[in-house]
Amino acid sequence: MRIDIVTIFPEFFGVLDVSLVGKARQSGLLDVRVHDLRDYTHDRHRTVDDTPYGGGAGMVMKPEPWGEALDAILAVADQTEPQDPGVSSVVIVPSPAGRPFTQKEARDLATVDHLVFACGRYEGIDQRVMDHAATRPGVEVREISLGDYVLNGGEVAAIAMIEAVGRLVPGMVGNPESLTEESHEDGLLEYPSYTKPSAWRGHEVPAILLGGNHGAIAAWRHDQQVERTRRVRPDLLPDQP
């Protein structure tokens, strides 16, 4: 999978050298490239923002540098599969105004060959950048939010999405079973986990886990998932009280 990131803070993405994503990059499974938006400006001050039409607080990111950056990045994709009628690139714009990011979205994005993260700052990117990118053949634009809170820019959100998507790319996680047994994959939260010692600071591991009855353990774990989900995330359950 190829991932391009456009940002005015390339140094945020140093963390992508670490851990699972870092290993996947070294092995060639993930090809991640970070681009400085200011490299696509032409004025002496490398200006990327301006005041909003219609007034209001804050600054808006100018369309021209974004247009040139996406021209350069999406031209590569255009040449790779010129005859493919389907979507070849998905441009993700992290934004608190986007639709919510979910495990389902992560699974879907893990099947795409080329992801482009357009990280905005200030009050956002001129809307025409997204509208124009969506008119390009083979390009889909998705504005996506991490949740109902506000970050200063899309960088931290992009890193979270890259980790969530990257670990679902085939070959990334050593044991694929660990992908299906976790929170959100079956619509429930994960059951609690324990390891040795069986007694620690007066807290015992639940006896059922020590008995070796695999059917009973599976049933107990499912009950724990349902109980935990009801307690902390009742909105995830089909019939809410």
Using CB under 6 A, list all residues that contact ligand 6GU.
94-96, 144-147, 149-151, 153-154, 157
- Write down the number of H helices and E strands in the chain: 7, 9
Residue 141: in which H helix or E strand, if any?
A: strand 139-145
Minimum CB separation of residue 211 from ligand 6GU in Å reads 44
Comparison of 23 and 104: residue with beta carbon closer to ligand 6GU: 104
For the four alpha carbons of 82, 85, 88 and 94, in that order, the dihedral sign comes to positive
Comparison of 77 and 159: residue with beta carbon closer to ligand 6GU: 159
In angstroms, the CA 137 to CA 89 distance is: 9
Comparison of 138 and 143: residue with beta carbon closer to ligand 6GU: 143
In angstroms, the CA 208 to CA 101 distance is: 36
Residue 163: in which H helix or E strand, if any?
A: helix 155-166
Minimum CB separation of residue 157 from ligand 6GU in Å reads 3
Comparison of 110 and 173: residue with beta carbon closer to ligand 6GU: 110
**Residue 12 DSSP SS3:** helix
Minimum CB separation of residue 152 from ligand 6GU in Å reads 7
Minimum CB separation of residue 192 from ligand 6GU in Å reads 28
